[in-house]
Amino acid sequence: MSATTIAFLNFKGGVGKTATTVNLAAALAHYHQQRVLIVDLDPQCNASFWLMPPADWKAHVDGGRHSSFQIFQDEIMGTHRFDFDKAVVRAVPRKGGISMISRLDILPAAVQLITIEDRIHQNKYARFFEFLYKALKPHYKDYDYIFFDCPPNVYSISKNALYAAENCVVPYVPDFLSLSGFQLLAEQIEQFNDRISGFKGLRRRASIVGLLASHYKASKTHDQGLNELEVTLGRLKSEGLTHHEAKLLLPPIRHLADVSESTNEHLPVILHKPNGLGAEDYSKLAKSFHQHFQSL
């Protein structure tokens, strides 16, 4: 069996891509015994910092060598320095040297990823989108889920995630500004999927199969936003701009101090406050998320 591979993507920043990647991954590993790999693809390294104190991250990535950056660096430089077993940090997070979730691994990012976009284009690789998949494919069999935490754009690194993955999940804040980009994002994703479909063989195109809402506040605005999200999704689905089983996965994640505080502790919220509201939301969401992907 090969992993269910999912790109968490939205070109809008700050909508909860990283929070959902990290906290859903932790809940699936902890409560559902799923083997989960997070691949951090953002030069901001937020998923890496959420699960690793910066000093540990710095010592580990070793100037980028043991991170997702090295995959792209190797392709550009013609080197073979990326070593999956050395780059992946197993059973994160760790406190006092003790692993807290045995089935959760992360391939950290490095800030040097910021240099990749320009260099990929200077070198004019026709099939630049295959780099990530080629490096990670041998390890797909070792996981139940692989989550790609994308930067807030649909440039080359996110396109690598769309090629490496067979599914795309889009986190949203249910307000007007966030929703206004939904159609454009779905079009961009499908245009790219059309372009690469001939290269993917039997692997499925990474269409949007799920939407998630975060930073939710019980209010007329956000409830209207959730309704509009469902209406727009129905329309885009009928136009073939999403997977035909795409749905809004519930519950929405509330805007909570538990969640933002947990970043300071370098812990997923289910470990930071196991009985808090953040843990409650993410454990419910993990259940509906897992059911959805098992039924596809």
Q: Which residues bind ligand ATP (CB under 6 A)?
A: 13-19, 42, 44, 46, 152, 214-215, 253, 255-256, 259-260, 263
| Residue whose token pair is 């804040």 | 173
Q: What is the DSSP string of 144-161?
A: SEEEEE--SS-SHHHHHH
Smallest distance, ligand ATP to C-beta of residue 22, A = 8
Minimum separation from the CB atom of position 185 to ligand ATP (A): 13
| Amino acid residing at 257 | A
**Hey, what amino acid is at 130?**
E
Report the partner that residue 54 touches, choosing among Mg ion, ligand ATP, none (CB closer than 5 to 8 A by kind): none
Helix (H, G, I), strand (E, B) or coil at 138: helix
Please say whether the beta carbons of 6 and 162 come within 8 A: no
256 binds, among Mg ion, ligand ATP, none (CB under 5 to 8 A by kind): ligand ATP
Nearer of residues 73 and 214 to Mg ion, judged by Cβ: 214
Chain residue at closest Cβ approach to Mg ion: 18
Smaller CB separation from Mg ion, 46 or 158: 46
Q: Taking CB within 5 to 8 Å according to partner kind, which of Mg ion, ligand ATP, none is near residue 14?
A: ligand ATP
Q: Choose between 14 and 274: whose C-beta lies nearer to ligand ATP.
A: 14
DSSP strand pairing (94-95 vs 4-8)? unpaired
Rounded to whole angstroms, how far apart are CA atoms 272 and 282? 12
Give the footprint of Mg ion on this chain (CB under 5 A): 17-18, 46
Query: Nearest approach, Cβ of 232 to ligand ATP (angstroms)?
Result: 19
In the bound state with ligand ATP, the residue whose beta carbon lies nearer, of 19 and 101, is 19
Compute the least distance from the CB of residue 206 to ligand ATP, in Å.
18
Binding partner selected for residue 19 from ligand ATP, Mg ion, none, CB under the kind-specific 5 to 8 Å limit = ligand ATP
SS3 105: strand
Select the binding partner of residue 259 from Mg ion, ligand ATP, none (C-beta < 5 to 8 A, by kind). Answer: ligand ATP
Least separation in angstroms between CB 46 and Mg ion: 5
Going through the chain in order, the beta strands assigned E by DSSP cover: 4-8, 36-40, 94-95, 98-99, 104-107, 145-149, 167-172, 208-213, 247-249
How far apart are CB 100 and ligand ATP at their closest, in Å?
19
As a whole number of angstroms, the distance between CA 292 and CA 283 comes to 14
For 180, half-sphere exposure in the C-beta direction (CA atoms, 13 angstrom radius) is 3
Angle between helices 156-164 and 116-123 (to 10 degrees): 80
Closer to ligand ATP by CB, 181 or 203: give it.
181
Measured from the CB atom, the residue of 167 and 214 that comes closer to ligand ATP is 214
Distance CA 141, CA 78 (A): 26
